[in-house]
Structure 1
Amino acid sequence: MGEEALPLPSPGRCIYGYGLFILSNCLLIMYFISLIPDHLLDDFGLSYVPSKYWYIAIPTFLSTLIFVFGFIIYPSIVMLLTEPMESIHLFTDNFSNQKCNLIPDRGDISSIYDIPVEITTKMHYYRPEIA
């Protein structure tokens, strides 16, 4: 049987968590060192530190990279991997629980059911002014 994904601590999670904790603390200390003027660093004997430019450029570059990936590249990959409406991979079987009326009859919480792909696609992607 496969392993269950439990939220309990495991040795792997502890090791990765500790490593990320140490890395983030080192980066925070390096950032605080970048705020200290150069003449004070020379007094402490720290003569070799990276240029102040890189303390600003690297986080800016990384945040821009995360933004571009999260809002442009990842949705583009999802759209490329989406099956067309005529695909044989979009089907229903005997185990699907579909309900024709999407509006619940009563005011309470309705039961769980599968919404057909055609309806969700029309709700999200259909634009009458284009068609």
Structure 2
Amino acid sequence: MTPRKKGMMTSTDGPTGLLSPLPDVNAAVKCKEIAAVATPSTSSQVSFREMQRLHAMRMELFGFGGWLTSALCYVLFLVWAYVPDTTLEAYGFTYFPSKHWAVAVPAMLVMTYLFSLVLYKAVNLLSTPSLGSYATILDTHTVPLPEGATCFEDDTEATPGIGDISIFEVNRHLFTATRQQEKRLKHE
């Protein structure tokens, strides 16, 4: 037989060293050696990568279990909502909520979702300073553009610098162009 590394099996392993249908006497020992090489011992610490893999596997199992549970609850809800009470009672289900809740609960959930959208917008509007507030012009988070940099008259193809545009520059750009257009219209 050819020399080989410990725990490695070749295709010619067998009682004769050739491909043989006869079982190898040492096959169980070789399998145990391979298993010992492939799995870490219980006395050693588990690596970070192995911990991540085990955590991900656990989360996958919990996710699949949650998916199965939610699908089962949905099917039970549909059965309860659409199957007549007499049929449910014939199968032994004698205590269940009124069918009124099959319509009321989804309607309440939809209205709660829509109300949460309105509430989210309202809270944002309440937390925003008024238009007359000085905080709408400058505050602690204002990042002025570098000196000499303009956002409006830059002819280069590069992306302009990141910064807050002064309200004075915005007004100059918006309203001087509008006044010039008004003057042209009056002269025509």
TM-score w.r.t. length of structure 1: 0.58
Counterpart amino acid of residue 76 in structure 1? A
- Residues 14-57 of structure 1 show CA distances to partners (whole Å, capped at 9, x for unaligned) of 36633541442133123222200111111111111111011110
Give the Å deviation of 1:101.
1.9
Give the Å deviation of 1:67.
0.7
Counterpart amino acid of residue 142 in structure 2? F
| Corresponding residue for residue 121 of structure 2 | 75
- Residues 56-108 of structure 1 show CA distances to partners (whole Å, capped at 9, x for unaligned) of 101110110001111x100112223335415522410679xx751289866xx
Greater RCO (Cα-Cα under 8 Å, separation 6 or more): 1
The answer to whether the Cα contact below 8 Å between 2:151 and 2:160 also exists between their aligned partners in 1 is: no
| Corresponding residue for residue 152 of structure 2 | 101
The answer to whether the Cα contact below 8 Å between 2:145 and 2:161 also exists between their aligned partners in 1 is: no
Unmatched 5+ stretches in structure 1:
1-8, 123-131
| Corresponding residue for residue 24 of structure 1 | 70
Cα RMSD over matched residues?
3.7
The answer to whether the Cα contact below 8 Å between 1:99 and 1:114 also exists between their aligned partners in 2 is: no
The answer to whether the Cα contact below 8 Å between 1:99 and 1:115 also exists between their aligned partners in 2 is: no
For these two proteins, the number of residue pairs brought into alignment is: 106
Distance 2:78 2:124 in 1: 39
Match status 1:55 vs 2:102: yes
The answer to whether the Cα contact below 8 Å between 2:88 and 2:94 also exists between their aligned partners in 1 is: yes
Distance 2:75 2:144 in 1: 57
| Corresponding residue for residue 89 of structure 1 | 140
Indicate the larger mover: 60-69 or 30-39: 30-39
Match status 1:111 vs 2:162: no
Residues 111 and 94 (structure 1 numbering): CA distance in 2 closer, same or farther, change over 3 Å? closer
Unmatched 5+ stretches in structure 2:
1-54, 130-134, 171-188
Residues 19 and 49 (structure 1 numbering): CA distance in 2 closer, same or farther, change over 3 Å? same
SS at match of 1:92: coil
The answer to whether the Cα contact below 8 Å between 1:41 and 1:47 also exists between their aligned partners in 2 is: yes
